[in-house]
A and B are shown apart, each in its own frame.
Chain A
Amino acid sequence: MNLNILWFVLIAVLYLGYFLLEGFDFGVGILLPFLSKDKDPQRIDLNRRVILNTIGPHWDGNEVWLITAGGATFAAFPHWYATLFSGFYLALFLLLLALIIRGVAFEFRSKDENPRWRVMWDWAIFVGSLVPAFLLGVTFANMVRGVPIDANMNYVGTFFDLLNPYALIGGLVTLVTFTFYGALFLSLKTTGEIRQAARKAATRIWRWAVLAQVLFLGAGFIATDTVERAGTIGVIIPLVGIIALLFSSYFFSRDKEGWAFVMAACSVALYLITTFVALYPRVLVSSLNDAWSLTIKNAASSPYTLRIMSIVALIFVPIVLAYQGWTYWVFRKRIEHKPEELTY
Chain B
Amino acid sequence: MDPTIIARIQFGITTVYHFFFVPLTLGLSVLVAIMETQYVRTGKSIYKDMTQFWGKLFVINFAMGVVTGIVQEFQFGMNWSEYSRFVGDIFGAPLAIEALLAFFLESTFLGLWIFGWDKLSKGVHALAIWLVAFGSNVSALWILIANSFMQEPMGYEIQNGRAVMTDFGALITNPNVWVQFPHTVLAGFTTGAFFVLGISAYHLLHRRDEEVFRSSFKLAAVFGLISVVLLVVNGHAQAQEMVRSQPMKMAAAEALFQSEDPAGLSLITITDLSQRKEIFSFRIPGFLSFLAYNRFSGEVKGIHDLQSELSQKYGEDNYIPPVIVTYWSFRTMVGSGFLMAALALLAVFIAYKKSFIPKPWIWKVFLWAIALPYLANTTGWLMTELGRAPWVVYGLMKIRDAVSPTVGAGSMLISLIGFGVIYALLMAADIYLLRKFAKAGITAEKDNISDGQVPSFIGTTG
A contacts, CB < 8 Å to B: 53, 56-61, 63-64, 66-68, 70-79, 81-87, 89-90, 92-93, 96-97, 99-101, 103-104, 106-108, 110-113, 153-156, 159, 301-302, 304-305, 308-309, 312-313, 316-317, 320, 323-324, 327, 330-331, 339-341, 343
Q: Which listed residue (B114, B165, B422) contacts A302, Cβ 8 A?
A: B165
Are A56 and B114 interface neighbours, CB within 8 A? yes
**Do the beta carbons of B166 and A331 come within 8 Å of each other?**
no
Residues on the B chain within 8 Å of A68, using CB: 96, 99-100, 103-104
Contacts of A111 in B (CB 8 A): 60, 433, 436-437, 456-457
Which residue in chain A gives the minimum CB-CB distance to B14? Answer: A96
Seed contacts A84-B77, A153-B85, A340-B455; 10 additional CB < 8 Å A-B pairs: A63-B107, A68-B100, A70-B73, A78-B84, A81-B76, A82-B404, A85-B81, A301-B88, A309-B96, A331-B115
Q: A60-B107, A67-B73, A320-B104 are in contact. Are A97 and B165 (CB under 8 A)?
A: no
Interchain CB contact under 8 A, A74 and B67:
no
Q: Is the CB of A57 within 8 A of B115?
A: yes
Are B93 and A308 in contact, with the CB atoms below 8 A? Answer: yes
> Can you offer 6 A-B residue contacts whose CB atoms are under 8 A?
A56-B115, A66-B70, A71-B97, A93-B415, A113-B454, A305-B90
B92/A78 in contact, CB under 8 A: yes
Q: Which B384-410 residues sit within 8 Å CB-CB of chain A?
A: 404-407
Contacts of A159 in B (CB 8 A): 411
Minimum C-beta distance from A123 to chain B (A): 13
A316-B135 Cα distance, complex, nearest whole Å: 13
Q: How long is the Cα–Cα vector from A112 to B93 in the complex, in angstroms?
A: 41
B70→A67 contact, CB < 8 A: yes
Evaluate whether A71 and B108 lie within 8 angstroms (CB atoms) in the complex, with A87-B406, A304-B165 already known. no
- In the complex, A104 Cα to B62 Cα: how many Å? 9
How distant is A323 from chain B, measured CB to nearest CB, in Å? 6
Bound-complex Cα distance A66 to B81 (A): 19
Pair A324/B108 contact, Cβ less than 8 Å: yes
Nearest-CB distance from A184 to chain B (Å)? 21
Among the interface residues A75, A77, A83, A90, which one has the most CB atoms of the partner chain B within 10 A? A75
Which A residues are CB-close (under 8 A) to B165? 301-302, 304-305, 308
Which of A61, A100, A153, A304 is within 8 Å of B111, CB to CB? A61
* Distance (whole angstroms) from the CB of B447 to the closest CB of chain A: 14
B365 close to A (CB within 8 Å): no
For residue A61, which residue of chain B has the nearest CB?
B108
Taking a contact as CB atoms under 8 Å apart, the answer to whether A112 and B81 are in contact is no
Select A327's contact among B84, B88, B92, B108, beta carbons within 8 Å: B108
Residues of chain B lying within 8 A (CB to CB) of residue A61: 104, 107-108, 111
Which of B59, B407, B419 is within 8 Å of A107, CB to CB? B59
B177-202 near A? 1/0 per residue, CB < 8 Å: 00000000000000000000000000
Q: How far is the CB of A343 from chain B (nearest CB, A)?
A: 5
**Does B456 lie within 8 Å of A112, measured CB to CB?**
yes
Q: Which of B73-127 contact A (CB under 8 A)?
A: 73-74, 76-79, 81-82, 84-85, 87-93, 95-101, 103-105, 107-112, 114-116, 119-120
B13 in the interface, Cβ–Cβ < 8 Å? no
Q: Which A-B residue pairs are the 8 nearest by beta carbons?
A: A78-B88, A85-B77, A75-B92, A74-B92, A107-B63, A71-B96, A86-B81, A82-B81
Is B342 located at the chain interface by the 8 A CB criterion?
no
Contact with A along B272-314 (1 / 0, CB 8 A): 0000000000000000000000000000000000000000000
Q: Which residues of B contact A343 (CB under 8 A)?
A: 114-115, 458-459
Whether the Cβ atoms of A104 and B426 lie closer than 8 Å is yes
The residues of B that contact A74 with a CB separation of less than 8 Å are 76-77, 84, 88, 91-92, 95-96
| Given A56-B115, A81-B84, residue A101 in contact with residue B422 (CB < 8 A) | yes
Contact B111 A103 (CB under 8 A): no
Most chain-A Cβ atoms within 10 A of its Cβ — which of B81, B84, B120, B457? B81
Residues of B contacting A100 with CB < 8 Å?
67-68, 70-71, 422, 426
A103 touches B104 (CB 8 A): no
**B243 lies within 8 A of chain A by Cβ:** no
Chain A residue with the shortest CB-CB distance to B86: A78
A81 to B80, CA, bound (A): 11
Are A82 and B84 in contact, with the CB atoms below 8 A? yes
B107 touches A155 (CB 8 A): no
Question: Is B357 part of the contact surface with A, judged by Cβ < 8 Å?
Answer: no
How far apart sit A265 and B78, CA to CA, in the bound complex (Å)?
Answer: 31
Are B104 and A324 neighbours in the complex by a CB distance under 8 Å? yes
For residue B358, CB closer than 8 A to chain A, the reply is no
Contact A86 B418 (CB under 8 A): no
Say whether B414 contacts A93, CB under 8 Å. Answer: yes
B168 at the interface (CB under 8 A from A): yes
Q: Enumerate chain A residues within 8 angstroms of B454, measured Cβ to Cβ.
A: 113, 339
Asked if A340 contacts B411 (CB within 8 A), the reply is: no
- Chain B neighbourhood of A110, CB < 8 A: 456
Given A57-B114, A324-B108, A86:B407 Cβ within 8 A = yes
Instruction: Check B460 for interface membership: any CB of A closer than 8 A.
Output: yes
Q: Complex formed: what's the CA distance from A81 to B93 in Å? A: 13
Instruction: Tell me the bound Cα distance from A101 to B166 in angstroms.
Output: 40
| Nearest CB in chain A: distance from B115 CB, A | 4
Q: Which residues of A contact B87 (CB under 8 A)?
A: 78
Q: With A159-B411, A340-B460, A341-B461 in contact, is A81–B88 under 8 Å at CB?
A: yes
Does B64 lie at the interface of the complex (its beta carbon under 8 Å from any beta carbon of A)? yes
Q: Does B346 contact A (CB under 8 A)?
A: no
Q: Is the beta-carbon distance between A103 and B456 smaller than 8 angstroms?
A: no
B100/A317 in contact, CB under 8 A? yes
The residues of B that contact A85 with a CB separation of less than 8 Å are 74, 76-78, 81, 84
Are A72 and B433 closer than 8 Å at their CB atoms? no
- Tell me which of A57, A71, A112, A308 contacts B99 (CB under 8 A): A71
B429 close to chain A: CB less than 8 A? yes
Q: Verify if B170 is at the interface (C-beta below 8 Å from A).
A: no
Complex Cα distance A113/B457, Å?
A: 11
In the bound complex, CA of A156 to CA of B63 (Å): 36
Closest-CB distance, B405 to chain A (whole angstroms): 6
Most buried by A among B88, B91, B422: B88
Residues of A within 8 A of B66 (CB): 60, 63, 103
Residues of A within 8 A of B426 (CB): 100-101, 104
Q: How far is the CB of A107 from chain B (nearest CB, A)?
A: 4
Q: Which B residues touch A70, using CB under 8 A?
A: 73-74, 77, 99
Provided the pairs A113-B454, A327-B108, A340-B455 are in contact, do residues A108 and B100 lie with their beta carbons within 8 angstroms? no
Chain A residues with Cβ below 8 Å from B112 are 57, 327, 330
Can you name the residue of chain A whose Cβ is closest to the Cβ of B124? A330
Are B89 and A67 in contact (CB-based, < 8 A)? no
A106 to B89, CA, bound (A): 36
Q: Considering only CB atoms, which chain B residue lies closest to A101 in the complex?
A: B422
B164 at the interface (CB under 8 A from A): yes
CB distance from A68 to the nearest CB of B (A): 4
